[in-house]
Amino acid sequence: MESVQQPLTSPLVGLFVELCATPSPSGQERVVADRVGAFLTDLGLEWDEDDAAARLEGDTGNIYCRLPASNGSGGTPIFLCAHTDTVPPDASIDPVVGEDGVVRNAAGTILGSDNKAAVVVMLEATRRILDESRPHAGIELLFTPQEEVSLRGADAFDHTRFVAQTGFVYDQGAPIGEIVLGSPHGRLLDFRFHGRSAHAGMFPEEGRSAVAAASRAIADFRLGRIDEETSANVGTITGGTARNVVPEWCSFTAEVRSHDERKAVELVREMLETAAFAASLGECEVESEVRPSFPGYRFRETDPPVVLAASALRAAGFEPTYALSGGGADANVFNARGLSCVNLANGMMEIHTPAEHIAVQDLETMVEVTLALVDAARET
């Protein structure tokens, strides 16, 4: 069994541990972005950062870098994308490499492999391409902020800057070899119930409980796994002012996802009607707002970008498998804008939880997969 120190001698793993130890919740990615920029500068590459920070009220924009095609190289130029933010950590982050070669957080919150594993793989693969003078058909790198809050960074990026029309993200928590063929359409729902406040002990009959009305609505929603294509969730709820006051206000947030957009629209309509009915029963009023979260997409196994990914995986020693994802990624944005962007699993596991982890071997393997992608693209 390898010692803890041995994997840490790898610059790839060292950079990964460094980035994971740096908190970067959405809107606060500055330190990680600066490290990415410094790495690109050390490689002698030109890069720039757009003005998305100001537009998104964060501290970081999109970092873009382009490697022009090697002289005489044909093939298909590609872009690679990773996001620099994470979901908010609940505590400090203390990444450690165990004797089993797996990186975990010893501090009891997220690790941040989503998506810093992809960040370091893209950087290390680029370093190797340059060091080895590896021929390629053109490579573009994009590092986005605020992916975890409805893909805001990618949405703010000017996608017309891409020369490549084919891209890849590594943002699926599953074993290496899995290719995501589709992602759901998402809708965000916000509800605010308005009742009437009253003293809960002296004059309760004069009050109209917004909390009770909202709770009735939530109890009547169809939530969780609706069918194999559709899910719904209520994520947060707030309301009331004091224990002894009938609550005048109650708000909650929800979401709907479905691979069939018609199902998503129908479920949203059902939830709006359910909330309105619950409000009427409680003699309350309800305000609701529906916003798009992310657009869905669907590939076939025979589509050229999927064939390219499968070829690269086989070259790296993996037999491809195919799956539909229940989550969104920056790929959703680019596919909606007419580009072809495939999401590949990269070995990160139990993301967004204190049990999140990734094997050192999977980090190293994804570098090989990236180099195989570059080679396969040059040959197409």
CATH of the domain at 204: 3.30.70.360
For residue 2, what pLDDT is reported? Answer: 38
- The string of pLDDT tens digits covering residues 126-181 is 999 999 999 999 999 999 999 999 899 999 999 999 999 999 999 999 999 999 99
Residues 48 and 161 occupy one common structural domain: yes
Task: Decide if 147 is catalytic.
Answer: yes
Residues 38 and 114 occupy one common structural domain: yes
Assess contact for 75 and 377: CB atoms under 8 A: yes
Name the catalytic one among 29, 85, 124, 330. Answer: 85
Q: How far apart are alpha carbons 34 and 23 in whole angstroms?
A: 13
CATH of the domain at 97: 3.40.630.10
Residues 76 and 189 occupy one common structural domain: no
Q: What percent of the chain has pLDDT over 70?
A: 98
Assess contact for 63 and 52: CB atoms under 8 A: no
For residue 71, what pLDDT is reported? Answer: 85
Residues 254 and 321 occupy one common structural domain: no
Domain total of the chain? 2
Residues 250 and 109 occupy one common structural domain: no
For residue 142, what pLDDT is reported? Answer: 98
Residues 228 and 256 occupy one common structural domain: yes
Helices (H), the chain: 5-8, 11-20, 30-42, 52-55, 113-131, 152-156, 210-220, 261-281, 304-315, 330-336, 360-378
Last residue of a domain, one of 271, 294, 317: 294
Name the catalytic one among 124, 147, 356, 368. Answer: 147
Helix axes 30-42, 113-131, angle to 10 degrees: 10
Q: How far apart are alpha carbons 146 and 83 in whole angstroms?
A: 7
Give one DSSP letter per residue of 38-103, joined into a string.
Answer: HHHHHTT--EEE-SHHHHTTSS---EEEEEPPPTT--S--EEEEEE--BSPPSS---EEE-TTSEE
Last residue of a domain, one of 238, 260, 294: 294
- The confidence band for 7, taking pLDDT boundaries of 50, 70 and 90, is very low
Residues 21 and 137 occupy one common structural domain: yes
- The confidence band for 280, taking pLDDT boundaries of 50, 70 and 90, is very high
Assess contact for 80 and 168: CB atoms under 8 A: yes
Please say whether the dihedral angle defined by the alpha carbons of residues 187, 216, 229 and 172, taken in this order, is positive or negative: positive
- 168, 126, 148: which is closest to 29 by C-alpha? 148
Last residue of a domain, one of 262, 294, 326: 294
Residues 289 and 303 occupy one common structural domain: no
Q: Is the pLDDT of residue 9 over 70?
A: no
Q: Is the pLDDT of residue 249 over 70?
A: yes
Q: Which domain holds residue 16?
A: 5-182+296-378
For residue 74, what pLDDT is reported? Answer: 86
- The confidence band for 72, taking pLDDT boundaries of 50, 70 and 90, is confident
Residues 74 and 163 occupy one common structural domain: yes
Task: Decide if 50 is catalytic.
Answer: no
Residues 148 and 220 occupy one common structural domain: no
Residues 19 and 137 occupy one common structural domain: yes
Q: Is the pLDDT of residue 98 over 70?
A: yes
Pairing of strands 340-345, 166-172: parallel
Residues 223 and 355 occupy one common structural domain: no
Average pLDDT over residues 258-264: 96
Assess contact for 233 and 327: CB atoms under 8 A: no
